[in-house]
């Protein structure tokens, strides 16, 4: 990537990271804080407060992305960050659980992820876009890990209202980054690899392989949110002071990374993504069983959390890669839009239903629910097609007539090692899914050069 592309990728990664950090910081401490709020004795309302941002995010994510095509990427991103900051300050000033829920709803309404992705696509060349997208994607995992450690520490110093206020300040800081650091796009247009296309939505929703992955991300984040309704309280009940919870989270996270990284490398390099993926779902199922059985015992919680985070980190890293490999080249952005919406809905459903189960049937019932979700996901994963060992390459070919695009597509599809070819005439982009090794890149470039001559 050139300097401008690196600046765009780093700036947008910071914006995305600050927003996600603001979302995640309260997860390990909110259930404990809510016990002292009017209405917070209801686990159902606590779960609703945790998951509410997922509902508003799911509703507004794709519309915000489409609005950015019409009125400008930066305007939509700044508006979304203002909403997020406003929601943070409302939650910080909340005097009961209901105002906290309202603040979380406003936070989620700042659904800027689709607009951020579209702006990144505007600011990067096709051949470097995947790398730039990965830069932003990695911030989610970093923000989540950091929040589990920093949340309890910050809670000890400034309390949950202070954490909410801090997230508002972080959002305002992100607005400064948008204005001062991220370049202005020279040309704003639709990118099929990064944006949802309503015309492709039905095709994506009918794809059984993609639906398996959508259910997976829904289940993964439903279990995540349900877990944080219960685990902080269970750790406290087991005798661990809330100020020391960060030690547990840091220990299990560091241990999980040691096991996760070799598994991901093995799956990608050896073309063994499916066995690694299915194994991670099975491990997640075992972790949920462990939480259901051991939620009343300190070491039972710790060991179950360790296996949970090994599985969670593996799945969080693998799912976007699988979507990219299995989605049609011309509908990758649409597939990711559906995937991200399913993730946000999972956060909402897990918070609400997990809280309701904890309220009426006890903590173990929450994890029985998670066990059922993971068992269904495991059955769906076992029957999924093995993802091919491929990567996506994009090339700018310039806008062209539809008949020329069709001819070029047919020619590229015949190049050795090309698994799928798509030429988007209006966007002027050729998208190829190619085998990781052994594809005829020189032959493909020769065809592309001839088409653009």
Query: Which CATH number fits the domain that encloses residue 20?
Result: 1.20.1250.20
Whether 440 and 417 have beta carbons less than 8 Å apart is answered as yes
pLDDT score of 257 more than 90:
no
pLDDT score of 187 more than 70:
no
On whether both 238 and 312 belong to a single domain, the answer is: yes
- Nearest by Cα to 257 from 320, 305, 315, 309: 309
What are residue 430's DSSP bridge partners?
A: 395, 423
Q: Which of 189, 215, 239 is the last residue of a domain?
A: 189
Mean pLDDT of 275-301: 93
pLDDT score of 302 more than 90:
yes
Identify the weakest region by mean pLDDT among 42-46, 200-204, 232-236, 260-264: 260-264
> Which is higher by pLDDT, 447 or 133?
447
Q: Which of 338, 357, 387 is the last residue of a domain?
A: 387
On whether both 231 and 112 belong to a single domain, the answer is: no
Mean pLDDT of 171-177: 91
Most confident of 46-50, 108-112, 314-318: 46-50
pLDDT score of 125 more than 90:
no
pLDDT score of 164 more than 90:
yes
Q: Is 74 helix (H, G, I), strand (E, B) or coil?
A: helix
On whether both 144 and 43 belong to a single domain, the answer is: yes
Query: Into how many domains does the chain fold?
Result: 3
Give the separation between CA 176 and CA 181, rounded to whole angstroms: 8
Q: What is the pLDDT of residue 9?
A: 84
On whether both 182 and 299 belong to a single domain, the answer is: no
On whether both 179 and 237 belong to a single domain, the answer is: no
Mean pLDDT of 163-188: 88
**What percentage of residues in the chain have a pLDDT greater than 90?**
46
Q: What is the pLDDT of residue 181?
A: 87
CA dihedral 78, 79, 82, 86 (to 10 degrees): -170
Range of the domain at 270: 196-387
Q: What is the pLDDT of residue 127?
A: 67
Q: What is the pTM of this model?
A: 0.89
On whether both 308 and 402 belong to a single domain, the answer is: no
Residues with Cβ within 8 Å of residue 93, at least 6 apart in sequence: 99, 161
On whether both 165 and 209 belong to a single domain, the answer is: no
Q: What is the pLDDT of residue 199?
A: 81
pLDDT score of 136 more than 80:
no
Which tokens belong to 69? 């095509």
Q: What is the pLDDT of residue 33?
A: 93
Q: What is the pLDDT of residue 329?
A: 78
On whether both 243 and 345 belong to a single domain, the answer is: yes
Residues with Cβ within 8 Å of residue 412, at least 6 apart in sequence: 418, 421, 423, 430, 432, 444, 447, 448
Q: Which of 189, 213, 244 is the last residue of a domain?
A: 189
Give the separation between CA 1 and CA 7, rounded to whole angstroms: 10
Q: What is the pLDDT of residues 304-351, one digit of tens each?
A: 999 999 999 889 888 888 888 888 877 888 888 899 999 999 999 999
Mean pLDDT of 416-445: 85
On whether both 20 and 80 belong to a single domain, the answer is: yes
In the predicted model, what is the mean pLDDT of the chain?
88
Q: What is the pLDDT of residue 344?
A: 93
Task: Check which CATH number belongs to the domain holding 423 and give it.
Answer: 3.30.70.100
pLDDT score of 418 more than 70:
yes
Q: What is the pLDDT of residue 424?
A: 84
On whether both 380 and 277 belong to a single domain, the answer is: yes
On whether both 161 and 234 belong to a single domain, the answer is: no
On whether both 14 and 128 belong to a single domain, the answer is: yes
């Amino acid at each position: 990537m050139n300097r401008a592309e690196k600046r765009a990728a780093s700036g947008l990664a910071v914006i995305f990271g600050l927003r996600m950090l603001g979302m995640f910081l309260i997860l390990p401490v909110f259930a404990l804080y809510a016990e002292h709020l009017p209405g917070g004795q209801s686990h159902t309302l606590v779960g609703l407060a945790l998951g509410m941002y997922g509902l508003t995010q799911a509703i507004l994510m794709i519309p915000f992305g489409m609005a950015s095509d019409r009125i400008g990427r930066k305007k939509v991103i700044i508006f979304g960050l203002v909403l997020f900051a406003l929601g943070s300050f409302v939650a910080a000033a909340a005097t009961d659980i209901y105002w906290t829920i309202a603040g979380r709803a406003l936070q989620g309404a700042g659904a800027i992820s689709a607009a951020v992705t579209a702006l990144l696509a505007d600011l990067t060349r096709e051949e470097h876009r995947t790398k730039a997208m990965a830069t932003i994607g990695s911030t989610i995992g970093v923000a989540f890990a950091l929040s589990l450690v920093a949340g309890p520490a910050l809670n000890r110093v400034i309390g949950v209202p202070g954490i909410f206020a801090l997230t508002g300040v972080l959002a305002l800081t992100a607005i400064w980054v948008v204005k001062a650091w991220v370049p202005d796009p020279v040309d704003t247009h639709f990118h099929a690899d990064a944006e949802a296309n309503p015309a492709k939505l039905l095709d994506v929703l009918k794809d059984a392989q993609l639906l398996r992955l959508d259910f997976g991300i829904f289940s993964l984040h439903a279990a995540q949110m349900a877990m944080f309704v219960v685990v902080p309280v269970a750790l406290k009940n087991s005798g661990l002071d809330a100020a020391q919870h960060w030690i547990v989270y840091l220990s299990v996270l560091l241990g999980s990374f040691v096991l996760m990284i070799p598994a991901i490398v093995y799956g990608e390099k050896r073309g063994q993504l499916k066995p690694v993926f299915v194994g991670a779902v099975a491990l997640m199922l075992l972790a949920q069983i462990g939480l259901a059985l051991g939620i009343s015992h300190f070491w039972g919680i710790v060991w179950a959390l360790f296996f949970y985070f090994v599985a969670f980190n593996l799945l969080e890293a693998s799912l976007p890669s699988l979507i990219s490999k299995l989605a049609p080249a011309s509908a990758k952005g649409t597939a990711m839009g559906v995937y991200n919406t399913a993730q946000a809905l999972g956060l909402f459903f897990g918070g609400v239903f997990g809280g309701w189960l904890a309220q009426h049937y006890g903590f173990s019932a929450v994890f029985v629910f998670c066990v059922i979700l993971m068992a269904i996901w495991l059955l769906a994963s076992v029957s999924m097609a093995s993802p091919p060992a491929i990567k996506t390459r994009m090339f700018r070919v310039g806008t062209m007539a539809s008949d020329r695009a069709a001819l070029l597509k047919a020619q590229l599809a015949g190049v050795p090692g090309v698994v799928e070819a798509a030429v988007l005439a209006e966007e002027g982009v050729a998208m190829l899914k190619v085998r990781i090794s052994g594809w005829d890149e020189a032959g493909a470039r020769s065809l592309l050069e001839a088409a653009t001559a």
